[in-house]
Amino acid sequence: MLELLLCSLLTILPDYLYRRYAQGKRLGREITLYSVWFELRWGIVACLMLTVGLITVIFYNHPSTTSATLFYRTVPILPETNGRVAEIYVDGVSGEVKQGAPIFRLDSATQQAAAEAARRKIAEVDAALVAARTDVVAAEGKIQEARSAYQQAVDELDTKQELNRRNAAIVAAREIERLQNVVTGRQGAVAAATAAKDAAEVQISTLLPAQKASAEAALAQAEVELAKTVVRAGVNGRVEQFTLRVGDIVNPFMRPAGILIPEGAGRKAITAGFGQIEAQMMKVGMVAEVTCISKPWTVIPMVVTGVQDFIAAGQFRGGEQLIDPQQVIRPGTILVFLEPLYEGGLEGVTPGSSCIANAYTSNHDLIDSGQVGATKGLVLHAVDAVGLVHAMILRIQALLLPIQTLVFAGH
């Protein structure tokens, strides 16, 4: 409507003023419905053509969309294992939580039993270490005893052999053989005692420490499983739709306990979908404006911080069926990210709110660069100037949005 009024000011209005005051024709007599069309047909046709052209220039160079929303991320509250709820730390169905704060706890009897068994195993290994050290001391005593007996047998054998060399009739050969066998047996006893000591030392230095390390690892695993029974907040935020109660069964694959909305979610940027025909015009750094239903009568200055290079409507997942482009009924949009031009620009706008967004093309830098001629520069100046019409339309929409929503829509 604004475009039509603007174009009529340049075409129909001058033509009417000429007929009325220059030619002296009067409204209702010489200027009738038929004569208006007949005499102003050139102005009317020119007005319509200029209106269509102006609308095309405005909407192409200064895109607009009603598909703008403050999207925000939600985190499902889920345990890592199945279990029955034993304790709840959040009062009511919603509440503020800090990072690391417990939300609820599952029954942990099995995990506690496993942890206690691991602790008992560590204590058992420690006791075995004490016993092994005692065995080492006992083995040292047996080694000393065996060496003494061995040395005694050797000394006795040497004595008998010396006597036998002096007089063969004094000591019988059988006695010497017996003493040699005793020495060999006593030597074996020394070796056995030494081996027993080495076995005890191996237990102290290798076997029992390995068993203790395994028991400690089992304890650490049991404590990790025990810690999993307490579900904690991963980030600062707010718990919503938390209807969990003691005794409920929670399944990480089928039944979440609620939703955690991170702090500041949906308060930093607006995501808008512009038409595909405007893909060449959407650039990072463009100035934009939005007005949202949750904050009426307010126009928020924004800036384009990102333009997605892909259109969601064209994505597919590989499967057993061929892709038919005809199945894409609705054309997708260009996803654009808008952030407030000034700090705190989105204060008061509820996350998830629907908004209307305008983006404005600026050719000021191109004109100042001197790379375009005078004619093209004038055209680009005109293109930038008609963005004012779109800005006026956005402000009219912001003014009428509450009335349209509350009165005409019946909400």
Mean pLDDT of the chain: 82
So what's the pLDDT on residue 407? 78
DSSP one-letter string for 199-246: HHHHIIIIIHHHHHHHHHHHHHHHHHHHHHTEEE-SSSEEEES----T
Over residues 283-294, the mean pLDDT reads: 92
Structural contact between residues 355 and 336, judged by C-beta atoms closer than 8 angstroms = no
So what's the pLDDT on residue 39? 67
So what's the pLDDT on residue 274? 92
Q: How many CB atoms lie within 10 A of CB 316?
A: 9
Q: In whole angstroms, how far apart are CA 140 and each of 43, 137, 146, 149, 390?
A: 122, 5, 10, 14, 100
Distance CA 104, CA 260 (A): 13
Q: What are φ and ψ of residue 408, in 5° steps?
A: -80, -35
The CA R_g of the chain, rounded to the nearest whole Å, is: 47
**Coil, strand or helix: which one is 79?**
coil
So what's the pLDDT on residue 307? 93
> With bands split at pLDDT 50, 70 and 90, how would you rate the model's confidence at 7?
low
Dig out the tokens for 19 from the structure.
Answer: 């007929």
Dig out the tokens for 315 from the structure.
Answer: 């994505």
Over residues 96-100, the mean pLDDT reads: 90
Alpha helices in 108-172 (DSSP H): 109-166
13-22, 30-39, 352-361, 366-375: range with lowest mean pLDDT: 30-39
Over residues 140-153, the mean pLDDT reads: 75
> With bands split at pLDDT 50, 70 and 90, how would you rate the model's confidence at 388?
confident
Paired residues of 251 in beta bridges: 255
So what's the pLDDT on residue 358? 93
So what's the pLDDT on residue 305? 93
Over residues 184-202, the mean pLDDT reads: 77
Highest mean pLDDT among 12-16, 169-173, 285-289, 371-375: 285-289
> With bands split at pLDDT 50, 70 and 90, how would you rate the model's confidence at 50?
confident
Note the pLDDT tens digit of each residue in 314-331: 888 777 778 878 777 778
Q: pTM here? A: 0.69
Q: Kind and range of the H or E element at 105? A: strand 102-106
**Coil, strand or helix: which one is 304?**
strand
Indicate the DSSP class of residue 349: P
> With bands split at pLDDT 50, 70 and 90, how would you rate the model's confidence at 36?
low
Q: Please, what is the end-to-end C-alpha distance for the chain in angstroms?
A: 26
- 272 Cβ contact partners less than 8 Å away, ≥ 6 residues apart: 65, 67, 68, 69, 290, 335, 336, 337, 338, 355, 357
Distance CA 380, CA 234 (A): 51
So what's the pLDDT on residue 47? 73
> With bands split at pLDDT 50, 70 and 90, how would you rate the model's confidence at 30?
low
So what's the pLDDT on residue 336? 94
Over residues 33-46, the mean pLDDT reads: 70
So what's the pLDDT on residue 134? 81
So what's the pLDDT on residue 296? 87
Q: Tokens 């004490």 label which residue?
A: 130
Dig out the tokens for 268 from the structure.
Answer: 């930093």
**Coil, strand or helix: which one is 307?**
strand
Between 276 and 151, the higher pLDDT residue: 276
> With bands split at pLDDT 50, 70 and 90, how would you rate the model's confidence at 10?
low
pLDDT value at 266 more than 90: no
Note the pLDDT tens digit of each residue in 331-371: 888 999 999 988 888 888 989 899 999 999 988 888 888 78
Distance CA 288, CA 65 (A): 11
